[in-house]
Chain A
Amino acid sequence: MHSHRSRPLPVTLAVLVGAVLAAGCATEDEGAPPAASSSGVACEKSTLQTVTQGRLTIATDEPVYEPWFVDNKPDNQKGFEGATAYAIATKMGFTPAEVKWVRVPFNAAIQPGPKNFDFDINEFSITEERKQAVDFSAPYYDVTQAVIALESNDAARATNLAGLKGVKLGAQVGTTSLQAIEDTIQPNQDPAVYNSNDDAKQALINGQIDALVLDLPTAFFVTAAEIDGSKIVGQLPASGNAQEQFGLVLDKGSPLTACVSQAVEALRSDGTLANIEQEWLANVAGAPVLQ
């Protein structure tokens, strides 16, 4: 799985400082919303310039994994991204039967060049670098933080934030995960801080820490594929300053970008995205939101 790559804060910081020092001018608002303005655009289905007229061609990788898709079948409308893709299609006026799936490798999708899809949904983190090559829609998912633990550890049975207070926690230095420990969990003992998630995972396996905080997509991968006998204890409530978001990838300058963003924003404001997230990430995938 190569789905996404988190950007630790120091990298962002170094890039920011480097750019500022080189340019010698103030650019404080690096975290501006990624999407182009999408309101007031006419998005009649009949006028949309899709790859195949009257149909919506959506791309994703081969294979795809839970909880983003189920059974590697994007057209079963299941999984967080499967359900989201169909919700967007419906919002744009396409019936499920008018949706056509193509499989495009992750790295190929974010290269510049002509695309054989209208949009690609594959846990693409929105970054400035990628925006040089492709268009991103408005974000459909804000990456949250999750706590994982070995099933043999008492920490695995915590059902709320209070249950994690007395736990020895670990996280990678300079990440939102470490901030979430300090701001949201506020444990009684200082967290262990590691250079990388790989070091932290080893400490978790060794029992040097009871639980590890990661972003949720990484937590799914670590618990499913990397550490036997580990589980997601739960997600931490959103802190409101998510540094990483997933967006749909479109061809650079695609005439559809504004309309797709408009559909995503509509789904966000009417609560559909939150419902899909609750259903597929919190309920089905077993990552309840800890309060």
Chain B
Amino acid sequence: MSQPAVSAIERDRQAYRRAQARRSTAIAAISTVVFAGALFLAVTRSPGWPRVRQQFFNLEVAGDSLPRILEGLWLNIRVLVVAEVLILIVGLAVAVTRTLRGPIFVPLRALAAGYTDLFRGIPLIILLYLIGFGVPGLRLQGVPTSVVVLGTTAMVLTYSAYVAEVFRAGIDSVHPSQRAAARSLGLTYRQSMRLVVLPQAVRRVAPPLLNDFVALQKDVGLISVLGAVDAVRAAQIESAESFNFTPYVVAGLLFVALAIPTARAADWTAARLERRERAAGVL
């Protein structure tokens, strides 16, 4: 795009706008500094602050507990990655099953609906107990007893029920005319689903999926109730040994650090989606 010729009046306007922008930036900066300063002073000058700093922000304890918490966090990350892949596969399968048309698929649809009802409804921690302690209690040959495998299974069951509903909302949001147009071009049901409906549906639900992913990042730690030592449990152990809450703060900061890239990715995906749809509208 070439820069159009700018009149003197327009240049004045631009200069005025720049001045206004600088002024707002300055005000914002000063206001932020004053607010942060007041907050800092209010916390650090409170009568209990030395004790709180000792109990929650103790650098020595933080350093001592960090290796163990990182070891736990590595377990969280591994479970997270495996679980997320399985969740997307199972969730998409359940969602597609729920949208199958035709009376012959009634039992499958009912099964898929029952699945989402059951596993969205049951509290995750109870499902973890049932699967993590109940399944190995059967003492069947070939059934895994590893708490990590069983815990991941429970996470997948619960989260894929949520994710299936997100996918289904995405599929339903694709206008029926798209499907009709695909079929009129001679595509089969499967082809129209795969080539026309799902690409649009998945793109549309990417932001809520990333939202669920961030929630999962923290919930994978719940497998610690089965005996595995994740970051939060490692912090709990360190905290009990040192009589100090700093390990919790360390684990909390690590989780925040883990969530930030996902949050930025969600923002970026949403912005890109908006650009695409706006662009289509403008053209």
Contacts from A to B (Cβ < 8 Å): 8-10, 13, 16-17, 20-21, 24, 170, 173-175, 178-179, 190, 192-195, 199-200, 202-203, 205-209
Contacts and interface: CB of A to CB of B under 8 A. Distances in A.
Contact of B133 (A8, A10, A16, A206): A206
Given A173-B240, A199-B133, A208-B227, 7 more contacts: A13-B239, A170-B227, A190-B229, A193-B237, A206-B136, A206-B139, A206-B145
A13 B237 CA distance: 12
B70 interface: no
Given A13-B243, A24-B51, A207 B147 contact: no
Interface residues of B, number: 26
A20 B236 CA distance: 20
B139 A24 contact: no
B273 to A, nearest CB: 42
B239 A194 contact: no
Nearest to B229: A193
Given A193-B229, A199-B227, A202-B137, A207 B241 contact: no
A8 B236 CA distance: 12
B15 to A, nearest CB: 56
Contacts, number: 70
A9 B240 contact: yes
**Contact residues of B: prevailing secondary structure:** helix
A149 to B, nearest CB: 16
Interface of B: 47-48, 51-52, 55, 129, 133, 136-137, 139, 145, 147, 224-229, 233, 236-237, 239-241, 243, 245
10 contacts: A24-B47, A192-B147, A193-B224, A195-B225, A199-B226, A203-B133, A203-B226, A205-B137, A206-B136, A207-B139
A213 to B, nearest CB: 13
B245 A173 contact: no
A122 B178 CA distance: 78
Contacts of A200: 227
Contacts of B48: 21, 24
Contacts of B225: 194-195, 199
Of the candidates B136, B227, B236, B240, the one having the most CB atoms from chain A within 10 angstroms of its own CB is B227
A191 to B, nearest CB: 8
A20 B48 CA distance: 9
A195 B229 CA distance: 11
Contacts of A208: 136, 145, 147, 227
B245 A17 contact: yes
A163 B245 CA distance: 35
A142 B200 CA distance: 68
A173 B237 contact: yes
A139 B205 CA distance: 64
Which 4 A-B residue pairs are closest in the complex by CB-CB distance? A192-B227, A174-B240, A206-B136, A9-B240
B240 A202 contact: no
Of the candidates A8, A170, A193, the one having the most CB atoms from chain B within 10 angstroms of its own CB is A193
B145 A207 contact: yes
Given A193-B229, A206-B137, A206-B145, A21 B52 contact: yes
